Structure 1
Amino acid sequence: MFDLQVNGWELLARAALIYFALFIMVRVSGKRTVGQFTPFDLLVVMLLSEAVSNALSGGDDSVLGAWILAAALIFMNGLLGFVSSRSKKLERLLEGHPVLIGRDGQWFDEVLRRHRLGASDAEKALREADCALGDLKLAVLETDGSISIVKR
């Protein structure tokens, strides 16, 4: 139960490789993947975890191995948060930047398409902000995938 079947350093290296590979894939997939989960997005996340589980553990089913992997993943996540909070350049690289998706009662259709946002996403953001389209001053797709609405 506590005997490692794989070298501890190998587990750490596997955790780092999988973490950064998935980080890059999620980052490249866009803001919507991060912020506004549809049932399909949730399914992809669940399948991703299943797809990488064997590569992550390398066949080690021990409790100690699981602890090492969990600690390594949490550490890397904290490290990236710490480093990005200290560097604006790195923060922009890791988290992206907000995108203007509408102004003065108009949606920017090309920008919405590029970020895979549908009309229903935009309309939902308006409803949540209690704002009619004619009262829209600015609409911004935030780095976390949420949409911020500024009324006139």
Structure 2
Amino acid sequence: MNPYLDIALRSIAVYLFMIIALRIFGKKQLSQLNTADVILILLISNSVQNAMVGNNTSLFGGMIAAFALFAINFIFKKTMLKSRFIKNLVQDTPEILIHNGRLEFQTIAKLGITNDELLEAMREHGVEHYKDVKLAMFEIDGSISIISGDKNLKQTHHKRKIHKTLGNLNN
């Protein structure tokens, strides 16, 4: 087999493996990285590099691997846009965490969201009490969006830009 075709096929196989692994381990892992998660990502990238390029450490071999990853990602995203089946297979749906001030305990427990994480999201959206939340959703990207019942509050969808491991203000 052509060594560059081998690199492309290996790269595509690793990409598909990573899609499946992320689907199994859940979307919460994407938006709420801690130190162990960052280390895991770094180690995974290092460990799969050899699986993609094998003994070929040439510039062209690396470019073939990168091109294969870009191409499969492009094709995969286009396929998800056109196929509801593939989209549902790979991507979760949003989940209701709070509805009209009432917590959905089963959903919260299933997703592994702690009370502190929920309270943090509420504070980020300017809401102090659960009873003031009209709707809280766990979005497909792993973030929590909040809509309050207060018409005076500006509604936001806030995605964290700073990892929790960079500092805890409560210490």
- 2:106 corresponds to: 110
Letter in 1 for 2:112: R
Q: How far did 1:67 drift? A: 0.1
Partners of 1:93 and 1:149 lie apart in 2 by 26
- 1:149 corresponds to: 146
Letter in 1 for 2:113: L
Of 134, 138, 142 in structure 2, the residue corresponding to residue 137 of structure 1 is 134
Query: Aligned-pair RMSD on alpha carbons?
Result: 1.5
Unaligned runs of 5+ in 2: 150-171
1:2-151 map, 5 Å: 7-132=3-128, 133-151=130-148
**TM-score normalised per structure 2:** 0.80
**TM-score normalised per structure 1:** 0.89
Partners of 2:36 and 2:69 lie apart in 1 by 25
Q: Which has the higher helix share?
A: 1
Partners of 1:106 and 1:32 lie apart in 2 by 22
Moved more, 116-125 or 87-96: 87-96
For 1:7-56, what per-residue CA distance to the aligned partner results, in whole angstroms no more than 9, with x for missing partners? 01110110011110111001110111122222222222111112212111
Partners of 1:136 and 1:21 lie apart in 2 by 38
% identity of equivalent residues: 27
Contact conserved, 1:14 with 1:56, CA < 8 A, in 2?
yes
Unaligned runs of 5+ in 1: 1-5
Q: How far did 1:115 drift? A: 1.4
Contact conserved, 1:102 with 1:140, CA < 8 A, in 2?
yes
**Structure 1 moving runs of 4+ over 4 Å:** none
- 1:3 corresponds to: none
**RCO higher in structure (CA 8 A, sep ≥6):** 1
Give the count of matched residue pairs. 147
Letter in 2 for 1:96: D
